[in-house]
Amino acid sequence: MSRLRVISGSAGGLLLQSPKRHELRPTQDRIRQVIFSSLAEQVPGARVLDLYAGTGSIGIEALSRGASRAVFIEQNREAADCIRENLRHCRLEGGEVRQGDALAYLTEAGDLFDLIFADPPYDKARGTLNQHPLLARMAQRLCVNGTIVWEHFAEQQVLQDANWNVLRHRTYGETGLTFCQPARNKAA
């Protein structure tokens, strides 16, 4: 596996650790660059939720680029500890790591977020993500005008329909990126 690094911002260039015994599929540097280039002006001051956080590279990149807060949700204890260590190593404040299930966290009453990143384990089936239970729960935790960035299998996508506004959809090999908002966030 190639070494992960923070791409830009206050921690730019610093290397991130990965758990030794936990198999992850970290978001590649080039895909993180695409994500953050697309969200440039939305990141400073943003409240960020990083679901299925793995190494924490997405939320750490957001904090490095000026996000005010990032909550990392990771079920695996070793990976959650690794995120804590990566935050210390990068000297970033505003990061909170919660070990637990992403769907359970989204069900709890709590904070709203400007940006929600979701990178759940890939289901390599074709079709749409519209019926995925994660989408409806993320929509409930998203601020008005907030954005969800979903990393998924390239042959799946969130279709633009009455419930969702797809802002952007791109594929990179087997990886798909969909930027979307609930229809309630559509500009009039």
Q: Over the stretch 85-121, which tens digit does the pLDDT of each residue have?
A: 999 999 999 999 999 999 999 998 689 999 999 988 7
Q: Strand 164-172 relative to strand 175-182: parallel, antiparallel, unpaired?
A: antiparallel
- 57 alpha carbon, distance to own chain's centre: 9
- Over range 145-168, report the average pLDDT: 83
Residues in a beta bridge with 47: 69
- Res. 1 pLDDT band, cuts 50 70 90: very low
The DSSP code for 40 is: G
Nearest CA to 186 out of 170, 162, 169 is that of 162
Q: Could you give the domains of the chain? A: 4-185 (3.40.50.150)
- Res. 129 pLDDT band, cuts 50 70 90: low
- The residue length of the chain stands at 188
Q: Over the stretch 13-24, which tens digit does the pLDDT of each residue have?
A: 999 998 876 566
Q: Any alpha helices (H) in 15-120, and if so which ranges?
A: 29-38, 57-64, 77-90, 102-107
